[in-house]
Structure 1
Amino acid sequence: MKRINQVMSVKSFIASRKVMLIYILLFSGSCFGQDNTSKATDTLIRNIPSSPSVVFDGRDINLHYFKWKSENNLRNDSIKIFSLSPISRRVNKVNGFVLGVGHYENANIKIQTINGLNVEASPLSLALFSISINVPFEALFVGINDNVISNVAFFDDCKDTYVKINGLNISSGGFTGGAELRGFNISIISGMNKMNGFSVGGILNTKNFSGVSISGLANISDSGNGIQIGSSNVSRRHKGIQIGLFNNSKDLRGMQFGLWNTNGKRKLPFINWQFKK
């Protein structure tokens, strides 16, 4: 009987220990198991003002910095080695080779960048050159009087830059605005915001040009710095040399060689110059 009582007391002790353990676990869960951190954080984010900042260690820290970094992180497919053009709306950079029919504005990415080779057959600019005969015709004589140009594709139509090319561009047509190129350009007709480097083609129209441009019909720029060689050369503000049948610059700092040369000071055949205002 005594042995039985001892066994029962041991079982009772073990049972009481289990009950106490369960009670401790439940109590701990009720006290520490509820994590309100995410809720509090969400509340804080929703209540952040439009231009928040805090002072930490003597410096102002923008509370939207990490949110901005997250929203602007590159996707896994945002950088490619090869792409067709128009480039996908999800790709903002190609380091390698692009082949296609041209580039157009992207609603998702402000500027798409190509580092390498861009080859395209642009039907739009090729049609502009072949169908709109007034464009090449006017371009031939624009060096005599830049007011001859009536098409807004020249000079005054400037789209925001949406594609940048660092390298070599080869095109049967060319750009019609909204492009910047740093490198080598070979195209029939091109309209760009900026061209830095060497260009060979039929017509080159740029807002800003720097380098050497050789065109069969016309080189047209709003601001030029370098050498223009073509049948007709026009640069409203030019620093450098113009060589062609007709050369025209409203504000020249350099030399002109051609059949008829016009600058801000004089009009002369064969050779003209201007080095001061």
Structure 2
Amino acid sequence: MTDHTRVNNIAVDSSVVLDGKEIKLNYFRWKSDNNLRNDSIKIFSLSPISRRVNEVNGFALGAGHFENQNIEIQVINGLNIEASPISLALISFSINVPFESLFVGINDNAISNVAFFDDKIKTYIKINGLNVSSGGFMGGAEVRGINISIFSGMNKMNGFSVGGILNTKSFSGVSISGLANLSDNGNGVQVGISNVSRRHNGIQIGLFNNSKELRGVQFGLWNTNGRRKLPFFNWQFKNK
């Protein structure tokens, strides 16, 4: 049997370029006493996903995901279902978000204080497919596909989302939220009681809509963008 040697002094983000392709040296690191590499792929996994698994192609089921200190990013291609035990805590924690954003349409200066999600949290979980959660993410996530959750704070959402609150750094697609949609950069359609986006290309539909840099239209009780504030209908296609 070949004797494998561990390489423990390779930095997590180290890489080399061979034939024009970047290869992460972290791939060659050995992480466990029985010399298992962190490049395991599974069809089914419980969550949190094992520290030795970096990709699930199929189905993940469990209580949610947490940052893995051994693998930079874990990926789920398929279906992710979470019965999160912290769903009530998420609602309590985020209950101030919709109330703050409700008044953004009235007080334009409030947009700088709205609790946009911390973009300093690096992405550690990517889901390509369908995500269903009784709670939601608290950051460090990217979803490409369909998201159904009570509360989601994530770095990136591309696709269709439905739930109570969606709070993202980057959003593209359609989001229908019972309370609020908040994003730094939005592309698509936001539907909710309150829709707040610092930069938005598309449509906002709700009681209160606000986008500092809008390229599109707003329908709601009160609509605010970089050019004007109007009831019922507003638009902006050029920045100031």
User: Which whole-Å CA distance do the structure 2 matches of 1:109 and 1:174 have between them?
Assistant: 21
TM-score computed with the length of structure 1 as normaliser: 0.70
Alpha carbons of structure 1 residues 79 and 120: separation in structure 2 relative to 1, 3 Å: same
Determine if the alignment matches structure 1 residue 163 to structure 2 residue 129.
Answer: no
State the partner residue of 1:276. Answer: 238
User: Which whole-Å CA distance do the structure 2 matches of 1:156 and 1:218 have between them?
Assistant: 17
Q: Which has the larger radius of gyration?
A: 1
State the partner residue of 1:193. Answer: 155
Alpha carbons of structure 1 residues 96 and 272: separation in structure 2 relative to 1, 3 Å: same
Determine if the alignment matches structure 1 residue 99 to structure 2 residue 99.
Answer: no
Determine if the alignment matches structure 1 residue 138 to structure 2 residue 100.
Answer: yes
Q: Please, what is the CA RMSD of the aligned residues?
A: 2.8
Counterparts in 2 of 1:28-43, with a 5 A limit?
A: none
Long gaps (5+) in structure 2: 1-15, 31-35
Q: Figure out how many residues of one structure are paired with residues of the other and give that number.
A: 215
Match of 2:191 among 211, 218, 229: 229
Letter in 2 for 1:161: T
Displacement of 1:124: 3.1
Letter in 1 for 2:151: I
Match of 1:122 among 74, 81, 84: 84
State the partner residue of 2:144. Answer: 182
Letter in 1 for 2:237: F
Alpha carbons of structure 1 residues 238 and 163: separation in structure 2 relative to 1, 3 Å: same
Alpha carbons of structure 1 residues 120 and 269: separation in structure 2 relative to 1, 3 Å: same
Alpha carbons of structure 1 residues 166 and 274: separation in structure 2 relative to 1, 3 Å: same
Question: Do the aligned partners of 1:208 and 1:223 also contact (CA within 8 Å) in 2?
Answer: yes
Displacement of 1:101: 1.0
Listed one character per residue, the Cα deviations across residues 138-168 of structure 1 (whole Å, up to 9, x for unaligned) are: 344444447278575x244531000000000
Displacement of 1:70: 4.1
State the partner residue of 1:263. Answer: 225
TM-score computed with the length of structure 2 as normaliser: 0.80
Displacement of 1:68: 7.0
Q: Which has the higher strand share?
A: 2
Alpha carbons of structure 1 residues 82 and 67: separation in structure 2 relative to 1, 3 Å: closer
Alpha carbons of structure 1 residues 123 and 149: separation in structure 2 relative to 1, 3 Å: farther
Displacement of 1:185: 0.4
Determine if the alignment matches structure 1 residue 240 to structure 2 residue 202.
Answer: yes
User: Which whole-Å CA distance do the structure 1 matches of 2:99 and 2:164 have between them?
Assistant: 12
Aligned sequence identity (%):
77
Question: Do the aligned partners of 1:126 and 1:174 also contact (CA within 8 Å) in 2?
Answer: no
